[in-house]
Amino acid sequence: MPNLVWNGTQQHPAATVLFAGTPLTEGSDYTLTCTAGNTEIGLGSLTITGTGDYAGTISTSFKILPK
For 3-53, how does the pLDDT look when each residue is reduced to its tens digit (9 = 90+)?
A: 889 888 888 888 899 999 999 999 999 999 887 778 888 888 989 999 999
Angle (CA) 45-53-28 rounded to 5° is 60
The pLDDT value recorded for residue 39 is: 85
Q: Tell me how crowded residue 60 is: count the other CB atoms within 10 A of its CB.
A: 13
The pLDDT value recorded for residue 11 is: 84
